[in-house]
A = this chain, B = another copy of it.
Amino acid sequence: MAPRFTVIGSYVSPYVRKVLACLELKGQAYEIDPIPPFVGDERFTALSPLRRVPVLIDGDLVLTDSSVICQYLEDRFATPSLYPADIAARAKARWLEEYCDTHLASLLLWKLFYQKVIRRHFFGEEPDEALMAHAREVEIPAALDYLESQLPAEGYAFGELSIADISLASYFRTAAFVRYAIDATRWPRTAALVHKVQALPPFQRLAQLEDAILRVPPQDQRAVLATAGVPLTATTMGTQAPRKGSARVE
């Protein structure tokens, strides 16, 4: 029997990683159409009007936007809870998630990963070195200063593992693809938290798949994942040549 859930989107996306981590932490099986960024065809556009990944399909329900999907999974499967029980802490966790989804995404995803990987390998363009340098030297340090001010000296952001921790770990994992690592002497709390979450079994399993697909061109990624035993959808919506025009890789 096919798993209940279908996910559309690549393992390289931090937005996809958030959703896959939530599914794995909640013990929910899924199959995946791991379309690389920017290659979704017209069937994909019909499911995701802003052409964002991930898409989650649950029977007749089609959802897009990682925050909406993660909250949906929480509403459906209360255990283990990935949102703080305390109402104020829950709001702060959602804010840190939003901070990751917009601000960290604008820096780590669009100013580092997109420039170095997507622009070069998908669109044959040179990265914007000045943009990347300003992000690395000014903007990302400022964001890390803020995060450091919000995190506890040790442990997860709000006691138990929550969507805030999952989001932070997901974005810095995509940053690691372009060799960005948090300086633990300067931002020890953020570095320790990200390390702790990325060491969890679901993140470790995903990391193996991420490493595997990053070594091969997009058209070979499905075969690599099939060999690794990943449950793939029967067909793929990633049939177009890469084209720009998505609002973001989400």
Chain A residues with CB under 8 Å of chain B are 49-50, 58, 61, 63-65, 67-69, 71-72, 75-76, 87-88, 90-92, 94-95, 98-99, 102-103, 106, 146, 247
Contact = CB atoms under 8 A, between A and B. Distances in A.
A247 B146 CA distance: 16
B63 A91 contact: yes
A139 to B, nearest CB: 12
A65 B99 CA distance: 9
A18 to B, nearest CB: 14
A152 to B, nearest CB: 16
Q: How many copies does the complex hold?
A: 2
A68 B95 contact: yes
Contacts of A91: 61, 63, 68-69, 71-72, 75
A215 to B, nearest CB: 33
B98 A72 contact: no
- Of all A-B residue pairs in the complex, the 8 with the closest CB atoms, nearest first, are A72-B91, A75-B87, A68-B94, A68-B95, A65-B98, A61-B88, A49-B146, A63-B91
